[in-house]
Amino acid sequence: MLLVNTLRQVKVVDQRALDKLFNLPAGEAPAQPSTKGIEPATLERVKRIFSESPDSTWSVEQVVEEAGISKTTGRRYLEYCVEIGFITIEIQYGNIGHPRRLYRRKNEVD
């Protein structure tokens, strides 16, 4: 009966849920990002840009130029960094055109 109740509480079946279900100790989190298409060395290059200038805002164009990556790749890595809480997005509204997305290193207290 305990197994059935535990199964009802699980919303997503992942490794953590299976460990809990079978009462296994949780293992270490993987050192590499689990998101497909995120390469650790490139991620570190992008993160370094924000770590070296924590108070600066960066546009996609500035990040890709600094990191030496394509715009498509840059956007994917920036969105990943937002997902993991490493950076935040600030919207800059101008008079003409679309709002501009700027990225900034997230404060540790946020």
Kindly report the CATH number assigned to the domain that includes residue 61: 1.10.10.10
Does 53 share its domain with 4? no
- Determine which helix (DSSP H) or strand (DSSP E) holds 110, and give its type and residue range: none
Burial (CB < 10 A; 0-12, 13-18, 19+), residue 55, is: exposed
Interatomic CA distance for residues 39 and 66, integer angstroms: 17
Number of domains within the chain: 2
Instruction: For residue 73, give its domain range.
Output: 35-110
Does 63 share its domain with 23? no
Interatomic CA distance for residues 19 and 77, integer angstroms: 30
Does 60 share its domain with 6? no
Does 103 share its domain with 75? yes
Higher per-residue pLDDT: 1 or 36: 36
Averaged over 32-37, what is the pLDDT?
65
pLDDT (0 to 100) of residue 101: 93
User: Residue 86 gets which letter from DSSP?
Assistant: S
Does 40 share its domain with 88? yes
What is the DSSP annotation of 5-23?
A: HHHHH-SS-SHHHHHHHTT
Whole-structure pTM value: 0.65
Residues with Cβ within 8 Å of 85's Cβ and at least 6 positions away in sequence, in order, are 106
Lowest mean pLDDT among 12-26, 48-62, 89-103: 12-26
Does 52 share its domain with 71? yes
Does 26 share its domain with 47? no
